[in-house]
Amino acid sequence: MSAYGLTGKIGVITGGSRGIGAAIARTLAAEGLTAVICGRDRAALDATAKTIRDAGGRCEPGTCDVTSLPDVQALATRVQSTFGRVDVLVNNAGVGAFSAPLHEMPPEDWDRVLNTNLRGVFYAIRSFAPLMIASGGGDIINISSIAGKNALPNGAAYSASKWGLNGLSYSVAEELRAYKIRVSVICPGSTATELSPHPGRDTSRMLQPEDIAHVVRMIVTQAPQAFASEIVLRPTQKP
């Protein structure tokens, strides 16, 4: 464990009810952070929060659709009134669309992917960065994908959202450095989650949600004079 611990810190994890987001919340809560998890499925949020609390951690669930600016602003207001600060923001909420080439994609599927994966991150940063600035600094971690660096046939909208997220992350990192806010982007390879189907692949050889959570933990416990602006994470063996 780094000397720069998480006890007493407040973290917001979007898409925190399952998969990568839930793993991040569990990992950071185990280190003393109070995890505020948000998503659209209240039952799943409550189940994840109970798991964290049963293990001795602190967790507050909150229903929030990241594609709705009023929803995200309401969550930020709740965090401010309850805790008075935020130290970590993990933009993890994401959706995929992998069933057809772009010229056959329904426009509503394009909107769903871009609005969640990219616009949702904008809304979260817009809502939480001022609170983080007032808190004196912190970490923003954006969960991207290796699809934001490589071609992804039949996943052009998803790939576009992640390329956009990478560019957003690099630029916002420069905007917020003066406020002692570190902005990092993680680009995982194939991960065993519900996000996309993996026909014919051995999921045991894929990245697991806990692998991404481990990287997030490393980032937020990094000594304050440095930060990892981008981490590409790959499975050791190809699935």
Q: Residue 25's beta-bridge partner residues?
A: none
d(CA 147, CA 18): 21
What are the residue numbers of the active site?
158
CB-count exposure of residue 105 (10 Å: 0-12, 13-18, 19+): middle
**CA 7, 13, 14 angle in degrees (round to 5)?**
170
Sign of CA dihedral 135, 44, 69, 182: positive
DSSP H or E segment with residue 114: helix 107-114
